[in-house]
Amino acid sequence: MGGIGLPRRMTGRDDGSEIVNLESRIAELEDELRETQARLRDREGMLHALSEHANDLTYILDRDTRFTYVSPSICNLTEYEAEEIMAADPGGIFHVDDLPIILTAIEEALKSPGEAVAIPDHRIRHRDLRWLYFEGSAVSMPDVPGVNGVVFNCHNITERKHQEETIYRQANYDPLTKLPNRLMFADRLTTALMRGAREKNCVGLLFIDLDGFKKVNDTLGHGAGDELLKVVAQRLSDCVRQDDTISRLGGDEFTVILPNIHGPGAAEIVAKKILERVSEVITLGENEVYISGSIGITIFPDDAEDEETLIQHADTAMYEAKSAGRRTYKFFTSQMNRAAIEKLELETELRTAIEREEFDIRFQPIIDLASGAITGAEALVRWNHPKRGLTSPDVFISLAEEQGLIVAIGEWVIRAACAEVGRWREAGFGQLRMAINVSPRQCQEPSFDTRVAEILDEMDIPAGSITLEITESLFIEGAHEDAVAALHNCRNKGSHLSLDDFGTGYSSLSYLKRFPVDVLKIDRAFVNDIVTSAEDRALCQGIVAMAHAFNVKVVGEGVETEDHAAVLRELACDRAQGYLIAKPLSSDEFSAFLSSWDGVPA
């Protein structure tokens, strides 16, 4: 605004026009001043409104990171009053972990006045104690009057951070148990091994599989199974240190990484805690359930120095724990590794065995104990392995079930057994019945009963000429209703049903009520000591009495001596099978046996 012009000199005469001009000029200047002030007020109001309602923050910090100015938007976003922020310690507003970020920004800005310094995301506290995220820039303005410090201009990125965190959790955490998932497990294991190698410490890896989880899932439903997994996840967390990592890999498989341990002893302590804690009763609604865990343990660097091998070894040890009876733990050994390699080779060979027709059938006779007459035989599959020779089903059946090959092998066995029944009928032994083992997995195959009927029709074999043998595992593992219905249909069409290895699992009368069978087979483990063990004798006697109450025949397996046969006959057992009668025979050997058999001595 220009100065007011005054006359250079005053004259004696009356100069009214100049005064009028001066007053007019003053009025004009006053109008201009009012207009300028109004514009300034409007601009100030606009800036205040923008600052009041913007998500961006403007604040000034001195060298000690104390606030010397805060914009109204800070107060709106944090719900603190400006005076509260100005009076607070920096750690009361900024997250304490982010204070170094702010201090560094101040130092960099002061070094280069007028130049904006980028600030990465940092947190400012809300009154309700949650954290808001901001990022922006800082600039030093030493030449601007009234600016006492470094000016920070930041924008709110809280929503973006929450979205990033959600994506991160979805990618790295199991949504059910909230534990790290397979991806994060791999990352944590890599970090633990790098640290262990650097600090010359051991790392323990525990691979945990729940025993009995499938039964809970099948009987109580998937909702109950999910609740059980959440309980187990919490119990596992109770057994480890803060630096340890528990992960859920999927299903009922969990892992525990134990970094910075001094040896196997520390891992063993944790494994024992886990087994004890997991086996405690779990309440699911109105049901109390019990489960256990099988744990495989491997140690870095003793067992392996890379993640993949370490995981494989822990998995191998876990399966050894299951094979040892479950509810236990096993450390990995080199012998297990050899067994695992052998198993892998066997899997590959088994896949080609069906195509190469390497399987064979042996027939073990079954006799009536009262008369000594042959009532039939059990078809026992063997594998004519090109290198191993004749291989027992104990070696490959469980492997076939794991690999999904049991259905194809099982159908081949049914066909081969029915072909032998056809030869019996041609030779005049049509009264004999063939017992054929059927796996739980095979029964669960869609239209299993229809397929059996088609094979019988195709080979012109009466349904009453075969007995389908199942084991208690069909029930222990949670029988599928479709499998039970299919077996019922087979029985309704004339085939007999037999419950094999009775007494070795969770034998229950409920099986006989839910699943009527024609035959119970007492496992050889009880027959073996029936002469010398009062307990085994009493157990066999109880099985026979129970079966007869249900009008079910009983076969004693593993009969190897005349004393075995005599005791079973005394207990009113109906039939016998074992080496006293004959070992498993080829088709030709069985035909010769039929002609020469004259009965077991009384």
Same domain membership, residue 506 and residue 359: yes
Interacting residues of 235 by C-beta distance below 8 A, sequence separation 6+: 274, 277, 278, 280
Q: Looking at the structure, do residues 307 and 435 belong to the same domain, yes or no?
A: no
- Helical pair 213-220 and 222-237, crossing angle rounded to 10 deg: 140
Whether the CB-CB separation of 557 and 579 falls below 8 Å is answered with: no
**Among 284, 309, 332, residue at a domain's last position:** 332
Same domain, 238 and 277: yes
Same domain? For 197 and 324 the reply is yes
Inside any domain, residue 8: no
Q: Are residues 397 and 263 part of one domain?
A: no
Instruction: Indicate whether 396 and 481 sit together in one domain.
Output: yes
Contact (CB, 8 A) for 154 and 120:
no
Q: Answer yes or no: do 184 and 313 share one domain.
A: yes
Torsion of CA 583, 586, 590, 593, to 10 degrees: -60
CATH of the domain at 471: 3.20.20.450
Q: Specify the pLDDT at position 512.
A: 66
Q: The domain spanning residue 196 has which CATH number?
A: 3.30.70.270
> What is the structure's pLDDT at 143?
79
Q: How far apart are CA 599 and CA 602, in angstroms?
A: 9
Same domain assignment for residues 306 and 356: no
Domain boundary among 332, 354, 375: 332
d(CA 413, CA 434): 11
Nearest to 572 by CA among 556, 558, 559, 550: 556
Q: Per-10-residue mean pLDDT for the chain, 602 residues long? A: 46 62 74 66 50 68 89 89 91 92 93 91 93 93 82 92 89 93 94 93 95 84 91 94 93 95 92 94 88 94 91 92 88 80 79 85 95 95 85 82 84 94 94 93 86 94 94 61 84 92 58 77 90 91 90 94 94 95 94 86 54
Do 192 and 100 reside in the same domain of the chain?
no
Are 437 and 413 within 8 A, CB to CB? Answer: yes
The rounded Cα 492 to chain-centroid distance in angstroms is 40
| Amino acid letter for position 208 | I
Number of compact structural domains in the chain: 3
Q: Is residue 600 part of a domain?
A: no
Residues 263, 363, single domain; the answer is no
Per-residue pLDDT at 300: 95
* Domain-located, residue 431: yes
Last-in-domain residue among 111, 138, 163:
163
Please give the angle made by the CA atoms of 565, 567 and 570, to the nearest 5 degrees: 110
One domain for residues 471 and 323: no
State the pLDDT at residue 285: 86
